[in-house]
Amino acid sequence: MTVPAAQPLELDVGESIGLVSALYLPPADGGPVLVLAHGAGAGMRHPFLAHIAERLGERGIGTLRYQFPYMEAKAKRPDPPAIAEAAVRAAVAAAGRLAPASALLAGGKSFGGRMTSNAQAKQPLPRVRGLVFLGFPLHPPGQPGIQRAEHLDAVQIPMLFLQGSRDQFARLDLLQPVLQRLGARSTLRLVEDGDHSFKVPKRTGQTDADVLNGLVEGIVVWWGEIA
């Protein structure tokens, strides 16, 4: 499937916050739209997110990538949760307007995924059928804990956790019991030997493209299971 160029947009996060940039790739007929947030250190145009969006587009899944306000302002410190969650809600609302006949998914890379789940836990995001985490940041490196996952108990829709088995932000011996607690709402798909950026050692024989394709396949299969 030929994927069209992403459409640039501006989202209004609120009178006290202002506008942020976004990129929209429409879905194929009947496909969902994934509202996709970036990680703490890189914006929506990072090659990882761009490649994920393009590969999803080839499979009929649309995407709406967007900037958090701090990234739009070229600041280094991520937004406080209330501002980040407002950006999530603005992006989900925009996706709903752009694709009124499509189901919505939401999530993102690391920080972006966690802010999306925070928003969903506090008040369900309209029309969102499931959350996608590209490396859920369960804890800072070297500071193991599960406090960042406590809010997930309030999320009552399916959640897909795409995680590297070597992710220093999510020790598997801590993450797996959290997902067991969440029960059938959670699905874990591991990238063996992957780190937080889904990089794998050369000895695995996998290329970056192989890993990206595997992540996209995981999203496509999971959507087929929950649709």
pLDDT, tens digit, 9 for 90 and up, residues 129-175? 999 999 999 999 999 999 999 999 999 999 999 999 999 999 999 99
Q: Where are the domains of the chain?
A: 7-226
**pTM, rounded to two decimals:** 0.96
> What pLDDT sits at residue 15?
80
> What pLDDT sits at residue 1?
67
> What pLDDT sits at residue 199?
95
> What pLDDT sits at residue 182?
98
Closest by alpha carbon to 219, among 35, 2, 22? 35
Cα distance between residue 25 and residue 132, in whole Å? 17
Cα distance between residue 23 and residue 6, in whole Å? 6
By the 10 Å C-beta count (0-12 exposed, 13-18 middle, 19+ buried), 42 is classed as middle
> What pLDDT sits at residue 85?
97
> What pLDDT sits at residue 5?
83
In the CATH hierarchy, which fold is given to the domain comprising 7-226?
Rossmann fold (3.40.50)
Q: Which amino acid is at 78?
A: P
> What pLDDT sits at residue 30?
84
Residue numbers of the chain with a pLDDT score lower than 70: 1
Is the C-alpha dihedral spanning 18, 7, 58, 210 positive or negative?
negative
